[in-house]
Amino acid sequence: MQDGSISQTPSLASLRLYSQHIAGTPFETPGEVVRWLGAVQAQDYLGALWAVGLRTRNAAEQDIEAALANHTIVRTWPMRGTLHFVPAEDARWMLELLARRVMAGSAARLLRQFALDEVVYAGSRDVFIRELQGGKQLTRNALYQALEAANISTANSRGLHILGQLAQEGLICFGPRQGKQQTIVLLDEWVPGARRLERDEALAELTRRYFTSHGPATLQDFMWWSGLTAKEALAGLEEAKTSLVQEVFDDQTYWLSPSVTTTSEASPAAVLLPAFDEYTVAYKDRRPVTHPSLAKRSDSAVLVLNPVVVMDGLVIGNWKRTLKKNELLINLLPLTPQAEDHRRHVADAASRYAGFLGQQLRIA
C-alpha cells in the first residue's frame, strides 16, 4: 500500500482495531495476546484481565488468571513505572531495556520523599530473598511485615515503592492470587528461562512488536508507550522498518504492519474496553480514536482512559460495572449525542463481558 491520506478506507481507527485484534480473528490463548501486544498495562488488575480476554476466543476470566498462575504471563513494572502484563519469556530483557531510566529518573524523588537509598534497598533485597527463596509465594502484606521486622519502614506508601524498585531491578514479580491478594515471587525462580537480549536486539524487537500490534502509530506514540528517548526510538525503528509500511494520515506519518492494511474482516459494531486498555492508553495522541464531539471536551483526556464504550472504532461513552451475587450491572454513561442511538450494539458488547465473568447481565 502506498502512502495515503485520512480520506482512505479503512480509517486509522479501524486499522488499529485489527492490529490490536479487537476486530478480526481473536487469539486462541491469553499468552498469545500478551506476546502480540508486547505489554498490556495492568495497574487495574481486573480491567487488564478483560483487556486480554476480549482479544481471546471464548475466554473466561479464570483463563487469564490461569495464564498468570502457570508462568505464561508475568505482571511487573517494565515501563513508565506502571504495572503491565508481559510475556514471561520477555520479562527480563524488557526490564533491562526500559526500567533503568525510570529508576534513575525517580531516585532523587524517592530519596527526598521516602528516604529510600541503596542502604534501604540492599536490606530489602536480603529480606525478600530470605522470605521468598525456594519457590515461596507471599502476599504484599506478609512481605511488609517481614520488612518491618527488619526495621525497614513500609508506612505511607514506602513499602510499595520498595516493591516497585526491586521489581524494576528484576528481583521480584507478581505471582498468582491468594483470594483477592496477589502474591510476590522471585523472578528468577518464577521464570528461570526468561531471555536476555543485547540492547540493539531488544530495541529492534520492542519496536517491531509495538508497531505491528499497535499500528498505525507514530514515532511519538512509540516513545510515549515505551519511555525510550527519541534517539533510541529512531534506532529501533531503523532496525524494524523493513517489516513495516508507512501511511500518512492528516499529514502525519504512521507505521504499521503491511498485513493490517489488506484486511477485509468485519469489525465489531461496539466493544466495552477496560480502563487503560492498550487501544486508548498506548498512544501519545488519542484523538484518532476519540469521537470528534468528545475530543472537544476539556476532560476528554481523562475520560478516554476510563472504561470506555467504543463504537466503530471511536470512543463514544464510558461504562461502569457493579458485581452483585450472580449479576453484573452495567451502567452506561453516554458522552456523545450518538451514544444513546447505539444501545442495542452496546448491549451485545456488554453480554460478551458478562459471559467472560460468568454473570447474568443487567444494563442500567
Question: In terms of domains, do 160 and 83 share one?
Answer: yes
pLDDT digits (tens, 9 = 90+) for 238-252: 999 999 999 999 899
Residue 212 in any domain: the answer is yes
Note whether residue 1 is domain-resident.
no
What pLDDT score does 345 carry? Answer: 87
Single residue among 160, 175, 190 that ends a domain in this structure: 190
The cell numbers describing 60, all together, are 473466561
**Which domain-ending residue is among 219, 242, 262?**
262
Of all helices (H) and strands (E), which one includes residue 362? strand 360-363
Domain, as residue range, for 332: 270-363
Mean pLDDT (whole number) for 216-225: 98
- Nearest Cα to 233, choosing from 252, 213, 219? 219
**Confidence at residue 150, expressed as pLDDT on a 0 to 100 scale:** 98
Note whether 139 and 77 are same-domain residues: yes
Same structural domain, 164 and 211: no
What is the Cα Rg of the chain in Å?
A: 21
Place of cell 498485513: 259
- Of 253-267, 272-286, 342-356, which range is least confident? 253-267
Residue 337 lies in a domain: yes
Q: In the chain, how many domains are there?
A: 3
Mean of all residue pLDDT scores within the chain: 92
Q: Is 180 within a domain? A: yes
* Residue 176 sits in the same domain as residue 278: no
Instruction: Look at residue 5 and tell me if it is in a domain.
Output: no
pLDDT tens string 267-289: 678 999 999 999 999 999 999 99
DSSP annotation of 56:
B
Pair (206, 183) in one structural domain: no
- Is it the case that residue 340 has pLDDT exceeding 80? no
Question: What pTM did the predictor assign?
Answer: 0.93
Buried b (16+ CB within 10 A) or exposed e, 300-316: beebbbbbbbbbbbbbb
Task: For residue 161, tell me if it sits in a domain.
Answer: yes
Does one domain contain both 31 and 137? yes
When pLDDT is averaged across residues 115-144 and rounded to a whole number, the result is 98
Do both 31 and 176 map to the same domain?
A: yes
Is residue 9 included in any domain, yes or no?
Answer: no
Residue 112 sits in the same domain as residue 253: no
Q: Assign residue 235 the CATH number of its domain.
A: 1.10.10.10
Amino acid 174: pLDDT? 97
How much helix, strand and coil, in percent to the nearest 5, is found in the chain?
Answer: 50, 20, 30
pLDDT confidence of 5, banded at 50, 70, 90? Answer: very low
Residues 6+ apart with CB under 8 A from 94: 39, 78, 79, 86, 202, 206
Give the DSSP H/E element, type plus range, for residue 52. Answer: helix 45-53
> Could you give the CA distance from residue 48 to residue 27 in angstroms, rounded to a whole number?
16
